[in-house]
Amino acid sequence: MALWQGARMSNSIGYPVLRTADPVLALRVARQLVAVGDVQYAEVSVDIELHTVPEVLRIREALPDAWFRKEDVEDWTRDPSDPTGLHVGVHAPELSSDPGFLSSHLPLWASMLDQPPDSIEEDFTAVVGPNIGEILWSSLVWPDVPDREIHREANSARVSLLLNSHSLELDEHSGDHTVLVHVRGANRDGSELRHASWLAEQVGQSVIGPPQE
């Protein structure tokens, strides 16, 4: 589960608009969607799940400002004192490189949160490899489109690029990548699909599947 899953607004709903085996294409379309909105206060966060020691060490070197954590609720219950620091997160320079230590705590997640747009997306996409990962652009503002009965939206305006996964839960591995556009989903009156479809149209795409929350 991505680090920011719990922080997602409960009324945010994401619609897939592209699925492709080409991560470069997926990133390009995601960035085009981001540009449809007001990006003055935009931030980007990345998250990746790692199942092997070599992958942990590779990502630690490739993303020296990342934070590594363990998402194992049973482990937290067994030892709430968190002697490893992996419950709250360990900065890459402080993460042990000992294979025995790392292998006993796999899988690990590595994240970088609230970064400036265009600061990490390309590097992250290039190093994610076969691992499940996500790039999330947040704090966007979707524009007002009066003739389509679409209203300005800030609280739920986001774009997700799921790498090697189809699900926002990041719990199922796939061989391709999915771009989702997020809109306000509180009304459940069809306005969500209309809004997502309009956003997708602006970048030459269309809604291709059911929404995710």
pLDDT tens profile 144-185: 999 988 889 999 999 999 999 999 999 999 999 999 999 998
pTM: predicted TM-score of the whole model, two decimal places: 0.93
Q: Biggest alpha carbon distance in the chain?
A: 61
Beta-bridge mates of residue 184: 12
Spatial separation of the C-alpha atoms in residues 20 and 38, rounded to whole Å: 26
Spatial separation of the C-alpha atoms in residues 181 and 142, rounded to whole Å: 11
pLDDT tens profile 31-62 = 999 999 999 999 999 999 999 999 999 999 99
